[in-house]
Amino acid sequence: DAGVIQSPRHEVTEMGQEVTLRCKPISGHNSLFWYRQTMMRGLELLIYFNNNVPIDDSGMPEDRFSAKMPNASFSTLKIQPSEPRDSAVYFCASSPTSGRADTQYFGPGTRLTVL
Amino acid sequence: GEDVEQSLFLSVREGDSSVINCTYTDSSSTYLYWYKQEPGAGLQLLTYIFSNMDMKQDQRLTVLLNKKDKHLSLRIADTQTGDSAIYFCAEGHNTDKLIFGTGTRLQVFP
């Protein structure tokens, strides 16, 4: 199994541009999570889906952020317009279970730099 | 609200034991976890403990839970340079959501 796949691994963009981060969860997993990691705030849960349905988006910082999961094998996190303070590493994770959190598998992350 | 705190840095000599500490505020936590993050990688689950346990041992790793004090620790015996990483404590309930600590950067020197 290839594990959780994220693309791109690195993204550099200018302030005001739209950014789309992509995630392919492990096949058969039914929960998907988006996290953001920064030095200042540590690891924050942005949103998570269960069976493609958003369950908790209370961590999404503001309306500039949106996430979708059109099917069980693909999710996107979009930032529009991007700002320098969005610079961070964004992780996607997936889990095969619902109701227990002991098996979240993390992707390698996307390092986003907004100039 | 829920909060998980850890010290930021720990430096140990190779071969010594490392003890990474974590405190949490939510007494209703069902599971407590330790994750490891190596440079440039995502988080990897090391071990977890149910809240009705007070100790779990897995090879070089020992997890101790003091539920009264809401204190969790991870002991790594015979620490190796490959153990150098950031270690995250996290708490969870009977849901998918985890609350992570700030992470402790462990540096192992020869």
What does the pLDDT read at residue B25?
Answer: 87
Share of chain B above pLDDT 70, in %: 95
CB contact under 8 A, B45 and A108: no
For residues B21-35, average pLDDT: 88
**Which carries the bigger pLDDT value, residue A114 or residue A101?**
A114
Q: Which residues contact B52 (CB under 8 A, 6 or more apart)?
A: none
Q: Which pLDDT score is estimated for A101?
A: 53
- Name the residue in chain B with its Cα closest to that of A95: B96
- Report residue B41's pLDDT band, with 50, 70 and 90 as the boundaries: confident
Give residue B26's pLDDT.
81
Q: How far is Cα B91 from Cα B69, in angstroms, rounded to an integer?
A: 15
Instruction: Tell me whether residue A71 is exposed, middle or buried, using C-beta atoms within 10 angstroms of its C-beta: 0 to 12, 13 to 18, 19 or more.
Output: exposed
Across the range B49-75, mean pLDDT stands at 93
- For B10-20, give one letter per residue: b (16+ CB within 10 A) or e: bebeeeeebeb
Query: Helix, strand or coil for residue A25?
Result: coil
Which pLDDT score, from 0 to 100, does residue B1 have? 58
- Match 């990688």 to its residue by tokens: B41
Give me the mean pLDDT over the B35-59 stretch: 91
Report CB contact under 8 Å: A42, B95: no
Q: Which residue of B has its CA nearest to A32?
A: B96
Is the pLDDT assigned to residue B12 strictly greater than 90?
yes
3-state secondary structure chain B: CCCEEECCEEEEECCCCEEEEEEECCCCCCEEEEEEECCCCCEEEEEEEECCCCEEEECCEEEEEECCCCEEEEEECCCCHHHCEEEEEEEECCCCCEEECCCEEEEEEC
Looking at the partner chain, which of B40, B43, B96 has a beta carbon nearest the beta carbon of A106?
B43
Query: What are A86's two structure tokens?
Result: 């969005």
B72-91 pLDDT tens trace = 999 999 999 999 999 999 98
**Span B3-27, average pLDDT:** 93
Q: Which of A97-111, B4-18, B62-76 has the lowest mean pLDDT?
A: A97-111
Residue A50 touches chain B, beta carbons under 8 Å: yes
Task: State chain B's mean pLDDT as an integer.
Answer: 91
